[in-house]
Amino acid sequence: MNTNGNAGFRGGPSSGVRCILGIETSCDETAAAVLTLDGKVLSSVVASQHDVHKRFGGVVPELASRRHTERIEGIVMEAMNQAGENGVDLAAIATTRGPGLAGALVVGVSFGKALAYSMGVPWIAVNHLQAHVASAWLDHPSFLMPCVVLVVSGGHTHLYLVSTPGQYSLIGRTLDDAAGEAFDKGAKMLGLEFPGGPALDRLAHSGDPSAVHFSRPYLNRGGLNFSFSGIKTALLYFLRDRKKIGHPCSLEDIAAGYQEAIVEVLVEKTMRAVRRHKVQGIAVVGGVSANSRLRALLKERAVREDFQLALPRVSFCTDNAAMVAMAGWWAFQAGQFSKWDVDARATLDHVTLSAG
Ligand code: KG4
Ligand code: ZN
């Protein structure tokens, strides 16, 4: 690692502001961020790999790991430099340990651990899902707990009841596909470019959501659980048959109708969770929480039904390292540090405060 001429890597006591460095490499974003010990984001740098994976129509794990390896040092340096020209004092380094792509995670974990060890600061392994949960507090530091948190990303659709930064119970989850997967696969069927979710969101903007009706999957079944595999099949059959039926809709209308069905289920089930657990606040986090229709509907309902809503800014919805630093900060405050033999874990599932 070459740190010559750079004020970035500096640990231990000094007069600078004490901070947590967060590192994220679980999928196709190489990210680093610096958060002060009073919760202020000083920098958040995200290098997306969309250009690498675009022509394959999805993330290629081996290419993701290689790109993380090429980029990680530069991204961490950039985050450190943006955080403070004279360097920042690192109190700890937090790194996503899992869940995610094994080879991609290993890059971040090895780098984070080696840097922490060489600087003599504690290392904190973070669960990616917990980092998404913590992202809600980046822009809403006084958001009240207990609350319901919907984590809605490419690989997960989980409803949590969050009582304190360290206490979570899983109260609902998808039984098959994640909502992000339904967006991505639906987008592929509509011939949209990778990554599909944002492309479908953009296309749906100029469509009429009531022109094509897709039944709301699992809305009146399964309690607080979700199921999104059926709606993809419904879209497949609709696209196959629409010329035969002579349905007068545009691709924009289809995208809008499909999006509306997914979003409505996400909102309704989250509202149900709030009523069932008698809380006043909802946070919605993860890549799909960047969806413009989901955000609009949640805001409408928050006003109408008088609950508090925490939505991260869009750049904190999709994978980033500010959320990893935030989860690391929570663990830091609880005195939960990881041992040096804790390693990357692709299948790490539920949220725990310290991931290892
Ligand atoms: O949290 P994230 O960046 O990575 C995972 O942890 O999975 O989430 C990525 C997912 C993808 O499925 C992507 O298509 C979806 O979030 N996504 C969106 C939007 N932006 C990202 N889905 C719908 N509308 C969006 N605007
Ligand atoms: Zn994620």
What is the whole-number distance in angstroms between the Cα of residue 5 and the centre of ligand 1? Answer: 38
- Is 33 within 8 Å of 79 (Cβ atoms)? yes
Q: Is residue 97 part of a domain?
A: yes
What ligand 1 atom has the least distance to the C-alpha of 132? 1
As a whole number of angstroms, the distance between CA 327 and CA 322 comes to: 9
Residue 289: which CATH number?
3.30.420.40
User: What mean pLDDT comes out for the span 308-333?
Assistant: 97
Same domain? For 190 and 229 the reply is yes
User: What mean pLDDT comes out for the span 191-197?
Assistant: 92
Task: Say if residue 270's pLDDT is above 50.
Answer: yes
- Is 79 within 8 Å of 21 (Cβ atoms)? yes
The token pair that represents 131 in the structure block:
């980092």
Strand partners, 46: 31
CA distances from 110 to 102, 114, 120, 272, 332 (A): 12, 6, 15, 41, 20
For residue 180, the SS3 value is helix
Q: Is residue 225 part of a domain?
A: yes
Strand partners, 96: 126
Same domain? For 297 and 323 the reply is no
Lowest mean pLDDT, pick from 12-21, 206-215, 275-284: 12-21
What ligand 1 atom has the least distance to the C-alpha of 286? 1
What is the whole-number distance in angstroms between the Cα of residue 130 and the centre of ligand 2? Answer: 10
Contacts of 303 (CB under 8 A, 6+ apart): none
Q: 184 is in which domain, residue-wise?
A: 142-311
Ligand 1 pocket: which of 25, 128, 183 to mutate (most atoms within 8 A of CB)? 183
Q: Is residue 341 part of a domain?
A: no
Lowest mean pLDDT, pick from 1-5, 117-121, 233-237: 1-5
> How many structural domains is the chain composed of?
2
The token pair that represents 140 in the structure block:
């809403």
Q: Is residue 7 part of a domain?
A: no
**Using 50, 70 and 90 to split pLDDT, how confident is the model at 164?**
very high
User: What mean pLDDT comes out for the span 281-297?
Assistant: 98
- Is 253 within 8 Å of 212 (Cβ atoms)? yes
Same domain? For 102 and 158 the reply is no
Q: Give me the pLDDT at residue 170, please.
A: 94
Same domain? For 127 and 205 the reply is no
Same domain? For 246 and 294 the reply is yes
Ligand 1 pocket: which of 318, 320, 347, 351 to mutate (most atoms within 8 A of CB)? 318
Task: Say if residue 236's pLDDT is above 70.
Answer: yes
Q: Give me the pLDDT at residue 7, please.
A: 42
The token pair that represents 209 in the structure block:
């959501």
Q: Is residue 295 part of a domain?
A: yes
**Using 50, 70 and 90 to split pLDDT, how confident is the model at 167?**
confident
Q: Which of 317, 319, 315, 278 is nearest to 294 (CA)?
A: 317
- Is 281 within 8 Å of 307 (Cβ atoms)? yes
Q: Give me the pLDDT at residue 195, please.
A: 87
Contacts for 160-168: CB closer than 8 Å, 24+ residues apart: 160/133, 160/351, 161/273, 161/277, 161/279, 162/133, 162/283, 165/134, 165/330, 165/333, 165/334, 165/353, 166/330, 166/334, 166/353, 168/130, 168/133, 168/350, 168/351, 168/352
As a whole number of angstroms, the distance between CA 350 and CA 356 comes to: 12
User: What mean pLDDT comes out for the span 301-318?
Assistant: 97
As a whole number of angstroms, the distance between CA 241 and CA 77 comes to: 53
User: What mean pLDDT comes out for the span 324-334?
Assistant: 97
Task: Say if residue 244's pLDDT is above 80.
Answer: yes
Ligand 1 pocket: which of 29, 129, 149, 153 to mutate (most atoms within 8 A of CB)? 153
Q: Give me the pLDDT at residue 86, please.
A: 75
Q: Give me the pLDDT at residue 247, please.
A: 82
CA angle, 99 then 104 then 109, to 5°: 75
pLDDT in tens, 41-96: 999 999 999 999 988 988 999 999 999 999 999 999 999 999 987 778 999 999 99
Q: Is 241 exposed, middle or buried (0-12, 13-18, 19+ CB in 10 A)?
A: exposed
Q: Give me the pLDDT at residue 300, please.
A: 97
> What is the DSSP annotation of 26-65?
SSSEEEEEEEETTS-EEEEEEEE-HHHHGGGTS--HHHHH
Q: Is residue 149 part of a domain?
A: yes
CA distances from 85 to 25, 74, 306, 320, 326 (A): 25, 16, 44, 22, 22
What is the whole-number distance in angstroms between the Cα of residue 291 and the centre of ligand 1? Answer: 8
- Is 109 within 8 Å of 24 (Cβ atoms)? no
Which bound ligand lies closest to the C-alpha atom of 324?
2
Contacts of 4 (CB under 8 A, 6+ apart): none
Q: Give me the pLDDT at residue 5, please.
A: 38
Same domain? For 129 and 278 the reply is no
Same domain? For 198 and 250 the reply is yes
Q: Give me the pLDDT at residue 85, please.
A: 77
What is the whole-number distance in angstroms between the Cα of residue 341 and the centre of ligand 1? Answer: 31
- Ligand 1 is surrounded, with C-beta below 6 A, by 27, 153-155, 180, 183-184, 195-198, 201, 286-288, 290-291, 318-319
Same domain? For 21 and 130 the reply is yes
What is the whole-number distance in angstroms between the Cα of residue 180 and the centre of ligand 2? Answer: 10
What ligand 1 atom has the least distance to the C-alpha of 292? 26
As a whole number of angstroms, the distance between CA 17 and CA 40 comes to: 11
Strand partners, 160: 149, 170
What is the whole-number distance in angstroms between the Cα of residue 144 and the centre of ligand 1? Answer: 26
Q: Which of 168, 132, 128, 173 is nearest to 345 (CA)?
A: 128
Same domain? For 290 and 149 the reply is yes
- Is 228 within 8 Å of 217 (Cβ atoms)? yes
pLDDT in tens, 198-235: 999 999 999 999 999 999 988 999 899 999 999 999 99
- Specify the higher pLDDT residue, 23 or 245: 23
Percentage of residues of the chain with pLDDT beyond 70: 94
Same domain? For 28 and 106 the reply is yes
